[in-house]
Amino acid sequence: MTGFPLPAPAQRALGMLEAAGFEAYLVGGCVRDGLRGLPPHDWDICTAARPGQVRDALGAAFTVLDTGLRHGTVTAVRGHVHLEVTTFRADGAYSDGRHPDGVRFVGRVEDDLARRDFTVNAMAWSPARGLVDPFGGRRDLEDGVLRCVGDADARFMEDALRIARALRFAAQAGFRIEENTAAAMRRQRGLLGRIARERLCEELSRTLCGRYVGRVLRGFPDVLAAFCPELAPMFGFEQHNGHHLYDVWEHTVRVVEAVPPVLAMRLAALLHDCGKPASFTMDARGVGHFYGHPKISAVLAHKLLTGLRFDHATRAAVVRLVEYHDRPLGPDPARLRRRLHRLGEMPVRQLLMLKKADCVGQGTHREHIAELWETQALLEQVLAERHCFTLRQLAVNGHDLKALGLRGPQVGETLHALLRHVLESPGDNQKEHLLALARQMRDGNEDNRP
């Protein structure tokens, strides 16, 4: 296979299974990615051998773990390489729309490939036997087409997670989703409600970080809304405002495309304006306004992220970016230091990126973008000059204040007061100067005592 850097342990396992008399192939994602000349990120092997036979055949060279015996899967480990080795199988009926009721081992690789979701994922390859491609996966891969194996509606009814996987593969690899498959995704999208939120979270995350995410957001908003209902009000929502060239959803898609492929940033871009429809008002001149929309967006974002079981850190980061996205962050060093104090360096950097993308997505206001670049330069300067924006950077600490006779809560209060002072006047962050200020504060307090 062209451009297929097969790691030595995978080659060895295939050889050992064949030597023991069992057909064995690489299968699924690693074949798909290998044919595209991309490094696969996991190695799946399918074989005619039953799990016990796999253990016997590979035991001499691999540590063999019983990962999913019930489904015929064991993991063979050698060094850093983990190989998932699965016996050829066909799935039984799917009564819950996600898991087969039972699996049946089968003798032929073609029967195993028939249970797989998309033609590009339904190919097997081995050095000894070459490519097995009963559904035209290679052709679809060359054409950049994602197509279900068999009847698309039936395949999505068996397992609706495949609908979210289709979005993800389209966003990652730029596949065009074949018409019948796309139509079935829309028809069956209601079944996504049966799928574990954690799985949808995973697929949505990978979709958002995909290079071709814009196409998916534009082409399948209805499918996304089946598991992200908070997005729906944005679709086609006109802004009636000269600052915006696009409706809320098209603007959102542009912002998602314009931020780096980092999950928290992509989520923040996706959700930053989701509160706009709910906050819309039109003034007497027919101009649309969205007063207070960041707050509403933040509440909706929190709801969506909690519903999809995003981890706490991601949720907190995204909600904060959404909440702050519309607050001024102009080229004003004191404001930058206050933001750095409140949010931290990384979130301020992300906020700037989001604000730039927001401007780009509005399609107007070049001068505003220029101002954000100026702010960026100033941020680099504030950080390079080590302006103080945390207690840790303050030129005095609690011990220094205790030495002045301050006690208990006075110590913390005075430290915070000094920090507030240097956020405005960074040049004053010098020990003698701050001690003098602290003495004044102490004496002022004493004077005020009854």
Chain residues in the site for Mg ion (CB under 5 A): 29, 42
Q: Which is nearer to ligand ATP, 194 or 303 (CB)?
A: 194
Burial of 3 (0-12, 13-18, 19+ CB in 10 A): exposed
- Neighbouring residues of 88: CB distance < 8 A, sequence distance ≥ 6: 46, 47, 48, 105, 106, 107, 108, 109, 111, 112
List 18, 23, 112, 159, residue binding ligand ATP (CB under 6 A):
159
Stretch that binds ligand ATP, among 116-124, 312-320, 409-417, 441-449 (CB under 6 A): 116-124
- Residue of minimal Cβ distance to ligand ATP: 29
Nearer to Mg ion, 23 or 44 (CB): 44
Furthest-apart CA atoms within the chain: distance in Å: 95
Site size with ligand ATP, rule: CB under 6 A: 12
The residue (of 28 and 361) whose beta carbon lies closer to ligand ATP is: 28
Query: Residues 6 or more apart from 349 whose CB is under 8 A from it?
Result: 379
Question: In the chain, what are the helix, strand and coil shares in percent, each to the nearest 5?
Answer: 55, 10, 30
Judged by CB under 6 A, the residue of 89, 147, 162, 337 near ligand ATP is: 162
Q: How many CB atoms lie within 10 A of CB 58?
A: 26
Stretch that binds ligand ATP, among 156-164, 192-200, 308-316, 358-366 (CB under 6 A): 156-164
Q: Which does 116 bind (CB under 5 to 8 A by kind): Mg ion, ligand ATP, none?
A: ligand ATP
Nearer to ligand ATP, 91 or 230 (CB): 91
Q: Kindly tell me which of 62 and 135 has the beta carbon lying closer to ligand ATP.
A: 135
Q: Which is nearer to ligand ATP, 71 or 442 (CB)?
A: 71
Contact pattern from residue 13 through residue 52 relative to ligand ATP, giving x for each residue in contact according to CB under 6 A and a dash for the rest: ---------------xx-----------xx-x--------
Side chain identity at 319, as an amino acid letter?
Answer: V
The number of C-alpha atoms within 13 Å of 49 and in the hemisphere containing its C-beta is 26
Between 175 and 220, name the residue whose CB sits nearer to ligand ATP: 175
Q: Does 203 interact with ligand ATP (rule: CB under 6 A)?
A: no
Min dist CB 189 to Mg ion, Å, is: 24
Evaluate whether 321 touches 302 at the Cβ level (below 8 Å). Answer: no
- Figure out which of the listed residues 18, 112, 117, 323 binds ligand ATP, where binding follows CB under 6 A: 117
Here the contacts of 371-378 (C-beta below 8 Å, separation 24 or greater) are 371/330, 371/331, 372/329, 374/331, 375/329, 375/330, 375/331, 375/336, 376/352, 377/331, 378/331, 378/333, 378/336
CB of 121 to ligand ATP, least distance (A): 3
22 contacts 48 by C-beta, under 8 angstroms: yes
For residue 150, the tally of other CB atoms under 10 A from its CB is 16
Does 325 bind ligand ATP (CB under 6 A)? Our answer is: no
Compute the least distance from the CB of residue 173 to ligand ATP, in Å: 9
Q: How far apart are CA 32 and CA 332, in angstroms?
A: 51
Burial 260-276 (b: 16+ CB within 10 A, else e): eeebbbbbbbbbbbbbb
Task: By CB under 6 A, name the one of 161, 182, 258, 382 that touches ligand ATP.
Answer: 161
Q: Least distance to ligand ATP from the beta carbon of 28, Å? A: 3
The residues with which 73 forms a beta bridge, in sequence order, are: 68, 86
- Taking the complex as a whole, how short is the minimal distance between the CB of residue 38 and Mg ion, in angstroms? 12
Comparison of 41 and 312: residue with beta carbon closer to Mg ion: 41
CB distance 49 to 20 below 8 Å:
yes
Q: Which residues of the chain form contacts with ligand ATP (CB under 6 A)?
A: 28-29, 41-42, 44, 116-117, 121-122, 159, 161-162
